Chain A
Amino acid sequence: MGSFAQVFINGILLGSMYGIAAAGLSLIFGTMRIIFIAQGTMIVFFAYVVYWCFQKAGIDPYLSLFIAVPLAFAVGLGMFYLVFRKAAALEDKNVSLLIAVGLMYLVENLMLKVWSANPRGLKLDIQGVVIAGWGLRISVVRLILLGIALVSALVVSLFLKRTRLGTAVRAASEDMEATTLQGINSVWVCAVSFAIGIALAGAAGVGMATVYSFDYKFGFTFALKALVALALGGIGNVFGALAGGLILGVIEQLASYYIGMNWIEAVSYGVFLLVLAFLPQGLFGKRGLIKKV
């Protein structure tokens, strides 16, 4: 039983990375109607930024949250106006999707040029710290990553629920033209929601830099896992996406423990297909309302 609890906790901790990536995907999907396949790569990029801040300037990786997140927001705004603005207005979303694919490979290869193909990882004292009790062991850096994921989801969710611009983002996710008809600058609304999605990648980058060793190609898998998490959690709900990530983490750890390490990927994508085939709204999708729309 003790080992089950340990496996479960490991799953939650693993899943927080998937969850925060999925929350970003969900937000970007809402207004742009594309799966932003470069999200994982952006997370890796900001992990490199955090790594650099530490190596070059000695900035504590957790303090660099205050650098990575605003920087990511600015990068997101810039990216939107530079490459997505025209494509986002088109009926055919394939163009935006192709841009995202292009961005992913461009950023991957720029990172390869700048940081080489050698895996990077921070060496921090805190990485060895473990909370132990009741026969369980919890790594503190992973626990902090879970905390970052929860706080990020909470902040984004409050923004969406409580602010005028956040309400406009939710409206635009539902009906872009009707949003424009209210006199709302829907291009700006799209830009902001995209930038917040990238800001989440900034926060996730801190988590990645402190927990994992990573290289320039490491992100794509996370984008795929985030996609699975999104399918589980359902689109249009930040906490749903986060929960989808946590559930995926638990499923993977259970599969690894009870079936075997090398089954993790097969089980993840098997779950992905099953959910899409039989529960296309996800586990928490509000079926009734979506059907009515």
Chain B
Amino acid sequence: MANLLLEVNELSVSYGDVRALTDVSIAVDDGAIVALVGSNGAGKSTLLKAIAGLLHPSSGQMFFMGESIDGLSTKHRVDRGIVLVPEGRRLFQTLTVRENLKLGAYLPRARASYDESLERVFALFPVLKERANGKAGLLSGGEQQMLAIGRAVMAHPKLVMVDEASLGLSPLLSAAIFELIVALNQQGTTVLLVEQNIHMALKICSTAYVMKTGSVVLSGTGQELLASEDVRKAYIGERGGRR
């Protein structure tokens, strides 16, 4: 039985009067890859933002390594090792690749292992080393996604949350990014994944949660959900059929 790294307990989040999440509970084991899947507007990104401390839940609890992180600022969550790679990558386009990575290791704890982290990022993504002094905005889409993940690795994280890593990338590049996420995970970093490419996400994850209109409606191992008739019909549907 693996240790629990992150536990989210009956979390609810509202944007003004609009309920975005209702009583969502998930558990992420230390060392696992966990996927959140579901259609647009299901609340997956909202859940990641709430875990990152960007949104304030109206009720529910979150525990990281057994300690409550409710009410902690994003800064303190990053310091504990919770890092979000946001949707759309959100790189600092006018800054160089190296400056982006440097900002990823901004906090003292991360700064202490800067050289080691940089080596790790350059080993995972050699292209970033070649482009280190170029502007991030001039990278290709795939390279930008690598930099976004690399920037998160610089924070020396225990949990990396990746929101829509494959969005806008070709199938080939998506597969490459997924391979890199698996490689990152094998180095000991726990990964919480939000993906529109459900088939791929279910293939690499150990556990997955299916979300719909702000709630978790189904969960299981990736294999179970891949085999599930309901999931195939509802989410993989046509795309699965074409394969």
B92 and A289 contacting across the interface, CB-CB below 8 Å? no
For the complex, what is the distance from the CA of A278 to the CA of B204, rounded to whole Å? Answer: 51
Among A182, A185, A236, residue most surrounded by chain B Cβ atoms (within 10 Å): A182
Interface of A is mostly: helix
Among B90, B103, B138, residue most surrounded by chain A Cβ atoms (within 10 Å): B103
The chain A residue with its CB closest to the CB of B151 is A182
Indicate which residue in A171, A175, A177, A183 contacts B79 across the interface (CB closer than 8 Å). Answer: A183
A174 CB contacts on chain B under 8 angstroms: 92-95
Per the CB 8 Å criterion, the residue count for chain B at the interface is 28
Does A292 reach chain B (CB closer than 8 Å)?
yes
A179-B137 in contact given A174-B93, A174-B95, A185-B75 (Cβ < 8 Å):
no
A170-B79 in contact given A175-B90, A177-B90, A183-B106 (Cβ < 8 Å):
no
B149 CB contacts on chain A under 8 angstroms: none
B106 CB contacts on chain A under 8 angstroms: 164, 168, 182-184
Does A293 reach chain B (CB closer than 8 Å)?
yes
A293 CB contacts on chain B under 8 angstroms: 93-94, 137
A183 and B94 contacting across the interface, CB-CB below 8 Å? no
B103 and A177 contacting across the interface, CB-CB below 8 Å? no
A183 and B74 contacting across the interface, CB-CB below 8 Å? yes
Mark interface residues in B56-99 (1 if CB within 8 Å of A CB, else 0): 00000000000000000111001100011010001111110001
For the complex, what is the distance from the CA of A288 to the CA of B139, rounded to whole Å? Answer: 13
Per the CB 8 Å criterion, the residue count for chain A at the interface is 21
B135 and A289 contacting across the interface, CB-CB below 8 Å? yes
Does A167 reach chain B (CB closer than 8 Å)?
yes
B95 CB contacts on chain A under 8 angstroms: 167, 170-171, 174
Shortest distance between the CB of B89 and any CB in chain A (Å)? 9
The chain A residue with its CB closest to the CB of B92 is A171
A185 CB contacts on chain B under 8 angstroms: 73, 75
For the complex, what is the distance from the CA of A167 to the CA of B84, rounded to whole Å? Answer: 20
Shortest distance between the CB of B51 and any CB in chain A (Å)? 12
A183 and B155 contacting across the interface, CB-CB below 8 Å? yes
Within 8 A of B (CB), among A169-214: 170-171, 174-175, 177-185
For the complex, what is the distance from the CA of A167 to the CA of B100, rounded to whole Å? Answer: 9
For the complex, what is the distance from the CA of A292 to the CA of B91, rounded to whole Å? Answer: 12
Does B104 reach chain A (CB closer than 8 Å)?
yes
B151 CB contacts on chain A under 8 angstroms: 182
B91 CB contacts on chain A under 8 angstroms: 178
A178-B92 in contact given A167-B103, A183-B106, A289-B137 (Cβ < 8 Å):
yes
The chain B residue with its CB closest to the CB of A181 is B84
B99 CB contacts on chain A under 8 angstroms: 167, 170-171
For the complex, what is the distance from the CA of A292 to the CA of B84, rounded to whole Å? Answer: 23
Some 9 contacts from A to B, beta carbons below 8 A apart, are: A174-B95, A180-B54, A181-B74, A181-B84, A181-B86, A182-B78, A182-B151, A183-B79, A183-B155
Chain A interface residues (CB < 8 Å from chain B): 164, 167-168, 170-171, 174-175, 177-185, 236, 286, 289, 292-293
